[in-house]
Amino acid sequence: MNEEIQIRLMELDDVDGVLAVEEMCFPTPWSRSAFVNELKTNQFAYYLVAEARERVIGYCGVWVIIDEAHITNIAVDPTYRRKGIGEALMTGSLELARTFGAKKLTLEVRVSNEAAQNMYEKLGFERGGIRKNYYTDNQEDAQIMWVMME
């Protein structure tokens, strides 16, 4: 890929771009107010965006509460997938969580999303339990994954 991709902290001006990616990627996307709330009022929330040509092409959110972090969501514009952007967002989120004192990080991923699970395992995540009927759009189970960051 010849394009320059920048990973940076999300700002309120990025919400429209993040919403566009969210709507491309998820059957039940988060609302504008959910993202604004995360940025303005959730003291535990940190979000990164991936940008190409001054356009948001991906994002990742992480909550850091005391010494534990949780990936809230991650998405990459389908036309930019398989180019290392998701991995760069996850690596940035892991570094961010570590900076704010997290010693372990968790996430949920659809049991059918093998590509994402493989990426997470590449980054050191291990499989934990299953959350039954976790996804509201089709009641698919979620694979819980963890990584220790010490």
Catalytic residue annotation: 108, 120
Q: Which of 25, 26, 83 is nearest to 50 (CA)?
A: 83
Residue type, 124: G
Q: Is 65 left (phi over 0), alpha (psi -120 to 50) or beta?
A: beta
Residue 62 CA to residue 43 CA, distance in Å, equals 11
d(CA 87, CA 114): 14
Distance CA 76, CA 80 (A): 7
